[in-house]
Every structure is written in C-alpha cells, then in structure tokens.
Amino acid sequence: MSDRKYFGTDGIRGKVGQFPITPEFVLKLGWAAGKVLARNNGAKRSKIVIGKDTRISGYMFESVLEAGLTAAGVDSFLVGPMPTPAIAYLTRTFRADAGIVISASHNAFHDNGIKFFSADGTKLPDEVELAIEEMLEQEMETLPSEQLGKAFRIDDAAARYVEFCKASVPNNFSLKGMKIVLDCANGATYKIAPFVFKELGAEVISIFNNPDGLNINKNCGATHLGPLGKVVLGEEADLGIAFDGDGDRVMMVDHLGNQINGDQLILIIAKHLHQLGKLNGGVVGTLMTNMAVETTLQRMQIPFVRSKVGDRYVMEELKANQWNIGGESSGHVICLEHNSTGDGVVAALQVLKALKETERNLHQAVTEDELFPQVLINVRVDDAKMSLKSETLHKAVAQKEQELAGLGRVLIRASGTEPVIRVMVEAQKLDLAQQTAQQLANIIEI
C-alpha cells in the first residue's frame, strides 16, 4: 500500500474540510474515477452507483461526485442513505461498473470518506486504484455537452436491499415470538434494519434511528453497546443488535445485557454451518481474534487461519482459501455465501438462524465457548520499531509463551497511528493474563 498517495486499506478517509476530504478534491476524484472506468469500458457508457451514510457532509460529497462523474461522461445512480454492503449488492444487481460509498464507517460525523466497489461488489483492484491516482495528477477536462453523463435517483433501492437481506435466510424462516432491540447508530441502517426484522416477524424496538447528520455513532451503535444493554434489560427483550454508522459491523447483547462481540458471532455461525455440513472449509480471523475461537475450531477439526488486522486482509485470506466465513472481533463478519463484503444485517440474520435452528438463546450459544480473558496494555515509547527489536523483550515473550503452554497467547505490535506498543495477552485465567501483560509492559518501559 506504500506506493499509494491517497487510497488507504479502506478507501480515502479524513476530516471534512481538510485535504483530501474537500469538495474540490472529491469533485476531481469523481472525474478521475469516471475517466479510468470509461477507459476500461470502451464505447459503452459507464454507470456508477453512489450511496452514503447519514452524516451531514454526505450531501456535499454526493453532489460533487455526481458532477465529477458527469464531466467524465459517466452516468450516476444515486441511492441516498444506504448501508455500505447494500452498495456492494446494488452495484452487482444494476450491472454497474463500480459503486461508491460516502462514509467514514464508525467515525464521528466530522469525518468522512470515499470507498469504491468494483463491478462484482468487491474492493477495487490495486491497478485500478493506482490508475485513478495517476488520473488525479492530470488537468481536469469536461467532455462536450453531448457526451456528458446523466444522473438518476433510484427510488426502490432500499426495498431491493431489504428483500436481498431476507433472501439470506430460508423462505420459511420466522422471527415470530422474538423481541429484538435494534441500535441503528443513527446511521445508514436506520430505515432498512427495522423493516427487515419486522417483515421476518420479530417485535422490534428501534433506538438511535433518528439521524440528524451530526449524531451518527455518537455514544451508540457497535462501538458503544452500553445503551443497548440497558434497553434490552428494561424491555425484557430476547436480545439486542447494534450496527455501526455504515452498517458493515454488527455486535449483540444477550437477554442478560452481556455484550457479544464479532468473535463470538463468527463462532456461532461457523459451528452451526459445520454441524449442517455446509461450512465449506474453514474460518479466517485476525491477529486479534480471541484464542478461544481457535481452540474451539481445532477441537471440531475446523481449519482456522489468522490474517493481519483489517477486513481487507480477512477477505484476501477467504479468497485465497476459497472459504466463506471470517471477520474481526470488532464486528466485521463476512459471510461470502451471501454478500461480497461484511454485512451487519445479513450476519445478524445468520446468527438468529443458528439460534432458531438449534433452539437456544444467545446467552446459551456463547457460554458453550467462553472467551479467554484478554488484557491489552498500551505502552508509550519514543521509537516503537526500535523497542520491538529488543533482545530482552524477545526472550521474555518466548519465556511467557512457554509458560502459557498453548493455553494462552502473547501478541506485541506497534500501533499504526501513534508512538505506542500494544501488549496483548490471553490466558485461561484473567489474573494470569494481567500479570503476564504487565511484566512484558514493564520490560518495554525500561
């Protein structure tokens, strides 16, 4: 990724009004993307689906993207506020050449970003991203009027995606008798998620589903489960489901208010598919995936591999192994059998399907495989790379891993955003994990 000037692992993201998240840059980005895609398309007119989450700056960036694409002779299909995975699906169903999502995912409203999907609803190939960056260096030119693109607003996009989500479970699947609390993070799932779960028969209580452009992800959603837990307990609901601002993450709360993370949800889905003989290979986690996931899958003789942290890397491993299930503890749950990217609503439905078919509640499903206590200590250092080269640290880590004897795990890595080394230790007992982590942190601090 180092040869890229603008694209990160998840598109282009930053603070609104600060380069590159400015109207001027995004206008030119739309034009550059349009030119590259038109070039790959020959004489056929290109078309691109544009969706966004609910943050206030989405209006501004939707307009300038549309203008840039129009200037490049590309047609825009505007679908309004829509979850990121919905854009992946709609790009495929409209036979579009690409999809663009205007979103900064779980970030606060003052950030925004631009993310692209290819025609098959997956991340743009590296060579296309690089070609767009090269085009950004050119002078922007508007095509003659007769060659300009057009813009179309798609009114039935939400209904299409609701049906797509419902189609990820069998026709006879019903949530009748279930009381579910949905936390929509004042984000892109605020209309769609309640429709899906109501139409499948659940009694739905929706919270944080009144976006005003400024309250997306604010003390709610997949990154703040406390409020959801309180409502689940107060309403005596069966469970709660939380999405993030753009709907590609999901976390849950059981009927007792316990928080259930992505690792646990992946395990529920994978175990159920395995029991049905439909898992199709193994499971992909990341370096941060709890060791209990690995030991449980090993016990069931299900292959498991770890990727680097980030759903992009999970996807790469899934494709390399031709597997279907993977994700992160943060709630990115990828079910490739159903969608080409992480999809919060679809993943939640797969969990509910597993619970229904095994006649268990969420609490029972997760207590079968208790997560290992995980302790994370951040150690501030002058030079993270230098600190990680310490021979003393390497010897201490090797000794601790030997002491844990396969019933725990040590992970030490540098933060990608600040001068910090993260010390993560898992063990079967919390006090052992705390003690081990602190001893290693003390060595780094010396």
Question: Where in the sequence numbering do the catalytic residues fall?
Answer: 105
Q: What are phi and psi of 331, to 5 degrees?
A: 110, 0
Q: Strands, DSSP E only, in 43-97?
A: 47-52, 75-81
Rounded CA separation 375/297 (Å):
22
Read off the tokens for 359. Answer: 């006649």
Number of Cβ within 10 Å of residue 416's Cβ equals: 10
DSSP-based three-state secondary structure for 350:
helix
The neighbouring-strand residues paired with 8 are 11
Read off the tokens for 350. Answer: 């797969």
DSSP-based three-state secondary structure for 300:
coil
Rounded CA separation 49/325 (Å):
27
Residue 128 to residues 34, 133, 168: CA-CA distances in angstroms? Answer: 11, 9, 31
Rounded CA separation 76/53 (Å):
17
